[in-house]
Structure 1
Amino acid sequence: MTQMSSITQKYQLSVVSGGRPILPGINNATSCQKNISVLVHDQQGIIVPFNNQIRIYSLETRQCIKTLKYANSPVLSTIFDNKKLSQKIYIVGIMLGDITVKDENLRQKEKLITIFTNFGQVIVLNYKGKLIDSPKLYQLELDSEKDESLLKVFDNGKELKIMTTLSSNGSLFDYKLSSLKFPEISTSSLTETVKLTESEIFTNIVLSAWSKDENVFTLLYKDINDNNQRHILVQSIFSKSMKKDIALESVLHVSQNTKNNQNVNSRFVSTMAIDNSASQLALGFASGVISIINLSDLQNRLLKWHIDSVLSLCFTDDGSYLLSGGWEKVLLFWQLSTNTQQFLPRLNGVVVDIQNEGKFYTLSLQMTENQSSSDYELIVLNSADLTSKLSVTGPLPIFNSPIRDTTHPTSVIKSNTQINVSKKKHKRKLLKSARQDFTTIIEMNPQTKQLYIPHLSTLQTFDFYKNEQTCLQFLTDGMNNTMGKVREELSIRDPEVQNIKITNDGNWLISYEVDFPPEDLMSSKDISHILKFWTHDETDPNQWVLRTKVLNPHGRSTPITNIKVAPISVDNGVGCITTDNNGGMKYWAFDSMEKNWCLKKLLIPNFTNFSNSVSLGWSRDGSLIFHGFDDKLQIIDFDNFKRVDLNINDTDNNDLTMTGEFTMDSEIQAVKMIGEKNLIIATKTSLNVIDLLLGKIINGFDLYPYVNGVYKNGHLDRLISCDDKSEKMAIVINEQVKDTNGKNTLDYKSHIIIFNSDLTQQLDAFTHDEYISWISWNHDTDFIFVDIQSRFGIVGTTVNTEMADEANREDILDGIANNNINNTNSINNNNTNNNSSIIEPSSEQTTSTSDSYLNKLKELSRKKTNININGEPKSSELNGDAMEIEEEIISGNRKSDKGINMNSFTNMFENIQNVPMETLFDSVMKALS
């Protein structure tokens, strides 16, 4: 029996893939260089840091050839997963070879890399072999009282210099340039402390940049001796051959020097770059203008094309070309001798960084349409023909609320206020917000196991096992499909994909999108709701082709609140049910005669109230539909699309009414069918299981402290998943971490709990170190999940050797109140005795997949006619222990340690019109005893 095997199987939790590429310069607004990825020694691959690993990609095959996961190394996991620190630790530099060795010939650039963190850790790793257990580790001696942080390491082959930042006033930093020398003889200690020799301190830095050969740096700073006027400093790094200080006002163009408010953006420097010869300095302004300054005679000229903030600048090695990028999603090539332009348009994101890597250009793009997180894509271009050699990105989920690390580039657009929100204001808002809902939508293809992640107007196809994006396709028609948006266009909302589903055969994609009209029009509130049905492209199986489009399927301005795909037993699974917020329901299926998707069945709205809390469940044989609307659950007969309502007379002529409706204690958030007879109902306050053969709630838990008011209506469904094969259920409970004073922080942890089909046993429990946004059964033996760091994890019985196991904690249910309703054993008792026997149901309780649920419910209702009013059966149809337990459940005499909540009396009032007052009083006393 599957339930028996579920006890013996042991689950494990592992974070196995996912993660997002990081741009360390994003964390420091004064740094113009954002990306730190480097080419390997033969320039056939590139090393890219992620937030949970380091990945090496081949430029020939476009695939990842090596992964260095932090969790697989005790040293790396200790450094990067340290949540006790107030600031996050991340990589700020990667250099080829072991630079701690003085001899250039001993650095082994073809095998070793040296990585630097913002906290001053220096780690030497073998990126071609396996992660060594104890890599070489140094700790730079930084001033913690001044929040000194490592920014950049410079190496000319003979000497090392490092640039660090010190906390200053406001958004400005003080910079410190120091000499770095590693000890020639290593000590026996695991971590060696390295002292720095201070060279020079620079105060009130606004922006910083350095040349490609790392011999010259330039700083834009405010001079306190010159009435806080802005100055530009150009200085050599390893020598004193060059040091030039220039007042910014002296090199601005006449039109930029005007003091009126209309030209304030023309004087605001957003980025800058300097060439290798230190002869040209490029300044990008918020107005979109680029100023090229000749450092020999301070003559300047303006380059005009951008119409929003210039976000990235880069000179070629010989200084003949300047590359620029910004909000237009276009890469510009400026030939400086002729001022002519060349373009590379239609990039996927805003260009926030450009690096010249010899025969390659490395672009860093940010998908700024996603306001919930900072998503980046790294593109490597061949500098000769601008063909793409590589594209690197991670999963691109859209969270319901912006997460704490969300950062967006500077823009002059005032109407789009979300872009210009500061980090401090965003953190204060998160701490004050009562709703910490960071859930997301992801669908898995049951056949290919690929993940489909809606990303606003696009759909990302992500291979969970290969850990790479396979496709990014537009599902809607909007401006972002053909070009980037600038200025006032940023306030125009493109259509957004709100929900997606995949049929069980994996051949059809169902998408629901919302089209927003322009603002400030009479029709601005006329939102269009579109239902689309897609099939696979015959030439490219990763692409979807639109087959059917339905405009406003539930009426004008009526949203689709939920979509449920049909089981295999109904039209071979090529069908779905859609619901609205007025209780309406429609069934759509593919018609082989019409060769199109058509409306097959319709349930007219019969509710007098509106609700966005709409949930759907479907029995395996397809005969029954479970419709959760607000706090009511209705059972719908699929054949006639009507509510199940059975009126039966027993032998004593007592009317026994078995209604297909349950009233729960609060709004229903999720409906999950598990097994043949158990229905899981999650509300805002509790988790319940309904035995459909008994027609009553048999078990429940109080979830009020964990989910009430936290998740948006229906979003708890994303954190509950059922295994249809083994009949197990996984639920995620997210918890906000508190500090020592008991106040909320911006850190989270989550608990994953595995139950059996009727919630009578906890099979496993785990704690994860981050907020989990989604969990799902993988149509095999495991559950997979994603957290707000875009990392994928797995809870399964089989774990790959490369998967890093996390600690299995059994005590996470201590804080969860167990409100057990008619439960045979409490959860705590089952924890102490996992080998307790499972009583198999009798033959009359067992439901075959071929029988109709409706017939079984009718049969069960007829069986109930043989029960007296006091709950004692007239005939002994059940035998042995099974009969006794069934008898106790029906009569309510089952003894257990149970708490009282709103569910305790739910079933009592279902047939109150037929129950005498004495019996009602006895039932209340039994519930309290």
Structure 2
Amino acid sequence: MPNSSLPMYKLSVVSGGKVALPRIHNRSATRKSVSCLTQDGSAYIVPFNNQFKVYSIDTRQCIKTLKFANNDILTSILDEPSVEVVHIEPIIDDEMDKIRVYTNTAKVVILKYKGKLATEIKTWSLNITGELFAVLGDGKKLLTVQKTGNSYRYDLYENVEEKEEESEVKHLETFENVLLSTWSNNNNYLALVYLNQETKKHVLIKSMVDNSSVQNFPVPSTTSSTTINSHFVTALALDNDGQQLAIGFASGVINLINLPDLSHRLLKWHIDSVLSLGFTNDNAYLLSGGWEKVLSFWQLATNMQHFLPRLNGVVLECLPVSDKYYSLVLQFAENNTNSDYQITLLNATDLSSILAINGPFPVFDTITNDVEQPISTVNSKSSVSSSNMLQSKKKQKRKLLKRKKHDFTAPLSVHPSTKHLYLPHVSSLQSYDLYKNEQVSYQYVTSSVNNAAGKVRLELTIQDPVVQDVKFTLDGFWMITYEVEYPPEGLLSSKELSHVLKFWKLDDNKEWELKTKVLNPHGNNVPVTNITTAPNSINSSQGCLTADNNGGLKYWKFDSKQNNWCLNRLLLPNYNHFSNSVQLAWSLDGSLIFHAFEDKLSTIEFSEFKLLEDENELPIERTLDTPIQALTLVNDSTLIISTKTSLHSFNLLTQSTISSFDIYPYVNGVYKPGHFARLLACDANTGRIALAINQQAAGTDGNPTLQHKANILIFNSDLTEKLGSFEHNEYISSLVWNYAADFIFMDIQSRLGIVSTTTSSEMVDESNNDQAFESLHPDSFSEKLQELTRKKGLANTDAEDGVDEDIDLEFINGNLSQNKTINMNSFTSLFENIDNVQMNTLFDRVMKIIT
């Protein structure tokens, strides 16, 4: 049992998450996303897989989060992997602060996005069969979907009457063998592409206002070619009047059909599959997007074309939001281990980006189950061809179930000064702020095709350079990245990889500027297996060690005279075999380096940069049971060693083992060599150790499933006492220390959490951020005042514990407070004469004190 005198740790999932695209796994759906513009047009609400996020369009920031875990009702309805939000709409009333949410499980929730989440939540169920797919016709029509073989069955219901517990609905019609669907922006018209009894593709246009079928006709052919790409429909769009229909094909051709007379014309520009189509609300323009990472505007009256190039990702959806904005769904398809999406809100006037909405972008070592690749003319790691689209998902699931190693770990680093999280994302680097719950930057750090333009057709088979690791010096001024460059396939040199070590400096614009680039730092075709930055005692931490897979070791340092990074010392390879199980640890005084290679642990004197020897001039080595997976030095006296079978704490002074744990069932055969180090973290201030253990969940029949669960264990510095044990309902991919008092973890769903003794309430509860939404209410003035003093007191306490002191005070009536010291004595004069003082006067006095 934990010692009661020690601080208690708490686990909270507080940030991160993925943008929720409820229809992304339904190949018949052309509309992927769900979002909502508030009634007054000031905010944009987007669902994530763990919360609703409310963005201010004026300030371009997230001003409110409605976390599912903070409310029992939302937890029971939404906090399940299979539950998706399929529709959000604002409720038109005088308060202008309520939204109605529909889920695919036929649940309806009414909640306020202002104020406390715990108040005024109403919910009921819809009496329908199947999975709710869309809400049309001003909320009066409900569309459900069921997969039947290679096509889908749609059922249309009418919402007759809403009740508190269950709504009365009426079944109207069933649509069989549906291949593709869309609806107009005003939700008044529905368009379906289906197979008739002769297995020929037809188009059905149906009105959602009077339930009448407007038109039913065969899909027009775009070419005389018989190839599958020229007939495979990939995108649909219908205008608000039900007069124009746009059909996109895998060949890149767009067929624009005038519905009254069925005349059509072809729009040709895309050279790969058309992935998204959308009419503007005035029906004057057609928007299209695809693999080119370009948003194309087709002016229908004049056939003129305009472009918005160099978007961040493949365009999966392009739709207008009211008359002022365009909403784009972008996918970063370069990452084939995970589906990374971003919603971009554009100003319709000048096409400037207003919002970029996304979560963390981890790159795992094993492809995850929910990866959905866009359709292309070729089949590659980042795409799926139209010919094997229906089989790829089944093959992927069978492969994952048969796979014995489920290594879903991902690299994650913390900047020592800013506390931002850095995630290598293929050829880029993402910086994410855990506390603000938003992306800070997304910077390309390698030379690749995707940096300048999108890849199409056979270009998709070209593999971009991949950033494998990122480290920071302890002063935060320098960043070290390691990347691998891949030559084109089909050449004699295709297996000759290039390994690149780069050193970056933070410039005045808070962007990383490349200063030194080292090509193949350990020789041709020799990878860098581990990077460790120097302690403060060595060149003010402006140095690092790199190790290779044959026992070689090199020390790099920043030379102020040459204003460059240089190789200072090296240790030649001394093993006759290769291994990726390489770990490094560096003592705080810089005198000793601990080098683990396979199952051997050796000690290196830094001054001489050679192996420590005994009196017989033989290297002092310690052999363990299995290859070493993680190595951590605690307090310069205890070495934490993790192998494939056990976890040891080793006393360097007495040269004896203090304690050991058997972790064989959770490590052996699960992680790739060295990757278990991503799940072991040490608090350098207290010496405490955090360890994440992942387990594959078994089904009811005892067979393995694709679900996982995890435990985080907290130990003291020598592993003799367990300080905490926590369960998490998902696979934990990374566990790091944030250079303060917290351990930060990221799970396979991109959610970010903390394990800490100093977790503040505002990290978990979103109600403290409401000041950015609304002015202080007189009834809650005293509560807000007490809250302000509590926060300042908490900040002072954290500063004593080593937490960053630069934490700003929370928003007060929408404005940031000045850097003015506030304590309990600041408000003493305020209460000396408070009798009969009006609330407005009292508020003015407070503002004079704090500003």
1:485 is aligned, of 447, 455, 471, to: 455
- Per-residue CA deviation, residues 817-870 of structure 1 (Å, 9 max, x unaligned), is xxxxxxxxxxxxxxxxxxxxxxxxxxxxxxxxxxxxxxxxxxxxxxxxxxxxxx
Cα distance in structure 1, aligned partners of 2:177 and 2:168? 25
Q: Show the 5 A alignment for 1:177-326.
A: 177-183=156-162, 186=164, 192-224=165-197, 227-240=198-211, 242-248=213-219, 251-253=220-222, 255=223, 257-259=224-226, 263-326=227-290
- Residue pair 2:629, 2:644 contacting (<8 A) in 1 also: yes
1:176 is aligned, of 155, 161, 173, to: 155
- Per-residue CA deviation, residues 596-620 of structure 1 (Å, 9 max, x unaligned), is 1011111011111111111001111
**Aligned counterpart, 2:358:** 393
Cα distance in structure 2, aligned partners of 1:426 and 1:303? 35
Cα distance in structure 2, aligned partners of 1:216 and 1:586? 66
After TM superposition, give the deviation of residue 142 of structure 1 in Å.
2.7
> What SS does structure 1 have at the residue aligned with 2:733?
strand
1:633 is aligned, of 601, 613, 616, to: 601
- Residue pair 2:382, 2:460 contacting (<8 A) in 1 also: no
**Aligned counterpart, 1:559:** 527
**Aligned counterpart, 1:89:** 83
1:754 is aligned, of 688, 692, 714, to: 714
Answer with 159-168 or 761-770: which moved more. Answer: 159-168
Cα distance in structure 2, aligned partners of 1:803 and 1:661? 46
**Aligned counterpart, 1:130:** 116
Give the residue type in structure 1 aligned to 2:392: S
**What RMSD in Å do the two structures reach over aligned CA positions?**
1.7
After TM superposition, give the deviation of residue 804 of structure 1 in Å.
4.8
Give the residue type in structure 1 aligned to 2:136: F
Cα distance in structure 1, aligned partners of 2:269 and 2:659? 66
- Per-residue CA deviation, residues 401-431 of structure 1 (Å, 9 max, x unaligned), is 1111111111111354864563222222111
2:320 is aligned, of 346, 349, 356, to: 356
Give the residue type in structure 1 aligned to 2:132: L
Cα distance in structure 2, aligned partners of 1:276 and 1:468? 35
- The question of 1:660 aligning with 2:642 is answered no
- Per-residue CA deviation, residues 96-122 of structure 1 (Å, 9 max, x unaligned), is 01xxxxxx6xx4571100001000010
Instruction: Determine what percentage of the aligned residue pairs are the same residue.
Output: 49
> Alpha carbons of 1:430 and 1:54: their partners in 2 closer, same or farther (altered >3 Å)?
same
Q: Show the 5 A alignment for 1:603-618.
A: 603-618=571-586
- The question of 1:335 aligning with 2:335 is answered no
Q: Show the 5 A alignment for 1:325-724.
A: 325-357=289-321, 358-416=323-381, 419=384, 422-538=392-508, 540-541=509-510, 543-647=511-615, 660-724=620-684
Cα distance in structure 1, aligned partners of 2:261 and 2:608? 86
Give the residue type in structure 1 aligned to 2:143: M
- Residue pair 1:719, 1:775 contacting (<8 A) in 2 also: yes
After TM superposition, give the deviation of residue 659 of structure 1 in Å.
5.5
After TM superposition, give the deviation of residue 28 of structure 1 in Å.
1.5
Larger Rg: 1
> What SS does structure 2 have at the residue aligned with 1:423?
helix
Cα distance in structure 1, aligned partners of 2:637 and 2:49? 43
Give the residue type in structure 2 aligned to 1:664: L
**Aligned counterpart, 1:161:** 141
- Per-residue CA deviation, residues 47-100 of structure 1 (Å, 9 max, x unaligned), is 1110100011011111011111000110111122346xxxx0010110101xxx
Give the residue type in structure 2 aligned to 1:31: A
2:20 is aligned, of 19, 22, 28, to: 22
Cα distance in structure 1, aligned partners of 2:358 and 2:676? 28
After TM superposition, give the deviation of residue 278 of structure 1 in Å.
1.1
Give the residue type in structure 2 aligned to 1:384: T
> What SS does structure 1 have at the residue aligned with 2:66?
strand
Give the residue type in structure 2 aligned to 1:12: K
After TM superposition, give the deviation of residue 195 of structure 1 in Å.
3.4
- Per-residue CA deviation, residues 605-642 of structure 1 (Å, 9 max, x unaligned), is 11111111110011111111010101101111111011
TM-score, scaled to structure 2: 0.87
**Aligned counterpart, 2:10:** 12
Cα distance in structure 2, aligned partners of 1:676 and 1:668? 19
After TM superposition, give the deviation of residue 519 of structure 1 in Å.
1.2
> Alpha carbons of 1:173 and 1:241: their partners in 2 closer, same or farther (altered >3 Å)?
closer
Answer with 794-803 or 586-595: which moved more. Answer: 794-803
TM-score, scaled to structure 1: 0.80
> What SS does structure 2 have at the residue aligned with 1:76?
helix
**Aligned counterpart, 2:58:** 60
Cα distance in structure 1, aligned partners of 2:545 and 2:80? 46
> What SS does structure 1 have at the residue aligned with 2:665?
helix
> What SS does structure 2 have at the residue aligned with 1:561?
strand
Give the residue type in structure 2 aligned to 1:70: F
- Per-residue CA deviation, residues 225-268 of structure 1 (Å, 9 max, x unaligned), is xx1111100110120455211012xx223x2x443xxx220111
After TM superposition, give the deviation of residue 789 of structure 1 in Å.
0.6
Cα distance in structure 1, aligned partners of 2:49 and 2:71? 15
- The question of 1:789 aligning with 2:749 is answered yes
- Residue pair 2:112, 2:120 contacting (<8 A) in 1 also: no
**Aligned counterpart, 1:69:** 67
- Residue pair 1:7, 1:763 contacting (<8 A) in 2 also: no
- Residue pair 1:440, 1:718 contacting (<8 A) in 2 also: yes
- Residue pair 1:75, 1:133 contacting (<8 A) in 2 also: no
Give the residue type in structure 2 aligned to 1:620: L
After TM superposition, give the deviation of residue 134 of structure 1 in Å.
5.9
> Alpha carbons of 1:23 and 1:164: their partners in 2 closer, same or farther (altered >3 Å)?
same
- Per-residue CA deviation, residues 3-50 of structure 1 (Å, 9 max, x unaligned), is x99951100000000111111120221111111112111222211110
- The question of 1:736 aligning with 2:696 is answered yes
- Residue pair 1:6, 1:763 contacting (<8 A) in 2 also: no
Cα distance in structure 2, aligned partners of 1:518 and 1:736? 37
Give the residue type in structure 1 aligned to 2:230: S
- Residue pair 1:24, 1:91 contacting (<8 A) in 2 also: yes
Cα distance in structure 2, aligned partners of 1:710 and 1:416? 23
> Alpha carbons of 1:415 and 1:90: their partners in 2 closer, same or farther (altered >3 Å)?
closer
Cα distance in structure 2, aligned partners of 1:753 and 1:385? 52
Cα distance in structure 2, aligned partners of 1:136 and 1:181? 19
> Alpha carbons of 1:596 and 1:634: their partners in 2 closer, same or farther (altered >3 Å)?
same
- Per-residue CA deviation, residues 631-681 of structure 1 (Å, 9 max, x unaligned), is 101111111011111228xxxxxxxx9963110101111110012210011
> Alpha carbons of 1:6 and 1:290: their partners in 2 closer, same or farther (altered >3 Å)?
farther
Give the residue type in structure 2 aligned to 1:368: A
> What SS does structure 1 have at the residue aligned with 2:686?
coil
- Residue pair 1:362, 1:378 contacting (<8 A) in 2 also: yes
- Residue pair 1:668, 1:684 contacting (<8 A) in 2 also: yes
**Aligned counterpart, 2:777:** none
Give the residue type in structure 1 aligned to 2:669: G
**Aligned counterpart, 2:793:** none
Cα distance in structure 2, aligned partners of 1:348 and 1:521? 30
Give the residue type in structure 2 aligned to 1:748: H
Give the residue type in structure 2 aligned to 1:405: D
- Per-residue CA deviation, residues 173-208 of structure 1 (Å, 9 max, x unaligned), is 111111113445x4xxxxx12232001111111001
- Residue pair 1:631, 1:665 contacting (<8 A) in 2 also: yes
Question: In the comparison of the two structures, how many residue pairs are matched?
Answer: 758
